[in-house]
């Protein structure tokens, strides 16, 4: 059974239900990347382009990150001064030498990649 998606009337974010906790303010993705390098923006654009081809994925910005949701949040990208902090969630542990760390988190695993702009073509290709 597919859950109905609700749109918050104040911030226009997609939510699983109207009472779901979220940062309720309209934030532009462009504003998050305003002071970031072109290289950081290019990496984000490549990730966004790849993930945007997947079905039923909602993308929204909070005060300091971009959130990708398909029923639940599965990817969070936080633009830092010199790199992108990328968190993603999986049901199984992820073994990959490019990962900064992978921790058990609730009933799933949280992978962290501090994408410091080296070897990005290989990293983006791995996102499938």
pLDDT at 103: 67
> Span 28-54, mean pLDDT?
91
Q: Which residue has the higher pLDDT, 76 or 18?
A: 76
Q: Which residues pair with 114 in a beta bridge?
A: 85
| pLDDT-based confidence at residue 17 (cuts at 50, 70, 90) | low
Tokens of 10: 């104040």
pLDDT at 118: 46
Give the start-to-end residue ranges of the domains of the chain: 27-126
Three-class HEC string of the chain: CCCCCEECCCCCCEECCCCCCCCCCCCCHHHHCCCCCHHHHHHHHHHHHHHCCCCCCEEEECCCCEEEEECEEEEEEEECCCCEEEEEEECCCCCCCCCCEEEEECCEEEEEEEECCCCHHHHHHHCC
- Looking at residue 23, the DSSP 8-state letter turns out to be -
> Span 46-56, mean pLDDT?
90
pLDDT at 30: 92
Residue 125 has pLDDT above 60, yes or no: no
Q: Which residue has the higher pLDDT, 123 or 80?
A: 80
27-126 CATH pick, 3.30.70, 3.30.2010, 3.40.720, 3.90.1150: 3.90.1150
pLDDT at 1: 46
Which pLDDT tens digit goes with each residue over 76-116? Answer: 899 988 888 888 877 777 777 666 666 666 766 666 666 55
């Amino acid at each position: 059974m597919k859950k109905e998606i609700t749109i918050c009337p104040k911030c226009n974010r997609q939510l699983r239900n109207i009472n779901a906790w979220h940062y309720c303010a309209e934030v532009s993705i462009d504003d998050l990347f305003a002071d970031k390098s072109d290289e950081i923006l290019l990496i984000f654009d490549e990730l966004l382009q790849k993930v945007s081809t997947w079905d039923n994925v909602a993308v929204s910005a909070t005060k300091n990150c971009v959130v990708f949701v398909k029923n639940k949040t599965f990817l969070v990208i936080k633009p830092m001064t010199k790199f992108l902090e990328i968190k993603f969630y999986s049901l199984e542990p992820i073994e990959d030498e490019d990962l900064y760390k992978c921790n058990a988190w609730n009933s799933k695993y949280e992978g962290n990649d501090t994408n410091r702009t080296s070897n990005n073509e290989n990293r983006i290709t791995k996102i499938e």
